[in-house]
Amino acid sequence: MIEILCCFLREKRTRIKHFSEMKYLLIIIVVLQLVGCTTKKSLLHSNQNDDGWIQLFNGRNLDGWRENKFKHKPEWKIVDGVLIGYGGQGYLSSFEEFEDFELYAQARISDTAGGRGNSGIYFRCAPHEDKKQEFPPGYEAQLDHGDNNNPTGSIYALNIEGARAPKPDTKDGDWVTMRILAVGNHLQTWINGKPAADCRDPKNRYKKGSILLQMHHISGKVEFREVKIRKIDKNY
């Protein structure tokens, strides 16, 4: 009888122990699931830019861009997160095309031969099919602090009211911020937060296309340390 009772107690303890282990294991599984859900949400959130901003230049490589060379052999390199273009006429163009958008960039121009820096940010660019043209058709937001006809911030050579920006207080070697807003035929730019060009293209020449970062001449240098964009809804 005593032996039977001892066997029963041993079996009871084993069942209790097994139940405790299963309960503990179940708690661990639930906790891991909760942590996993939180982690997935955190990773998803970290991949999303605030307010829909997309980093066109990631600070590490030229993913998302195609390199185009024209008269010379310009080079593009990345140093400490800064995109540097030098050595001749050419450009980078985005693989993705944009229609209505807001773009923000930080840029610096200079000239290694003591001349004048010259660059620009093209937008809504068509493919460069006519190689007789130096750059593909599209709007250009000017980056040239010494051009009195098309000062920095102008929509270059558009020749309509509001396309020419007032000359900003900028010079070669300075980092400047450029903001571009293109909605329909309404084109606006800001330089260092101040309004620059503000015009409406009656011909609505370019409706959609790629973003282009220009390298203008052989002794010039242009640097970009941020280029981001967000798409604008048509009901904006």
Q: Where are the domains of the chain?
A: 1-48, 52-231
pLDDT (mean) for 185-213: 98
Spell out the SS3 assignment of the chain.
CHHHHHHHHHHHHHHHHHHHHHHHHHHHHHHHHHHHHHHHHHHHHHCCCHHHCEECCCCCCCCCEEEEECCCCCEEEEECCEEEEECCCEEEEEEEEECCEEEEEEEEEEECCCCCCCEEEEEEECCCCCCCCCCCCCEEEEECCCCCCCCCCCECCCCCCCCCCCCCCCCCCCCEEEEEEEECCEEEEEECCEEEEEEECCCCCCCCEEEEEEECCCCEEEEEEEEEEEECCCCC
* Average pLDDT along the chain: 83
User: In this predicted structure, what is the pLDDT of residue 70?
Assistant: 67
Q: Which residues pair with 202 in a beta bridge?
A: none
Share of the chain above pLDDT 70, in %: 76
- Check if the beta carbon of residue 71 is closer than 8 Å to that of residue 78: no
CATH superfamily of domain region 52-231: Exo-inulinase; domain 1 (2.60.120.560)
The C-alpha atoms of residue 203 and residue 186 are separated, in whole angstroms, by 11
pTM of the entire structure? 0.77
User: In this predicted structure, what is the pLDDT of residue 13?
Assistant: 52
Per-residue pLDDT reduced to its tens digit, 65-96: 999 876 667 789 999 999 999 988 889 999 99
The C-alpha atoms of residue 227 and residue 225 are separated, in whole angstroms, by 7
User: In this predicted structure, what is the pLDDT of residue 31?
Assistant: 34
User: In this predicted structure, what is the pLDDT of residue 77?
Assistant: 96
Q: Give the Cβ contact number of residue 20 at 10 Å.
A: 10
Q: Tell me which of 11 and 219 has the higher pLDDT.
A: 219
pLDDT (mean) for 8-28: 47
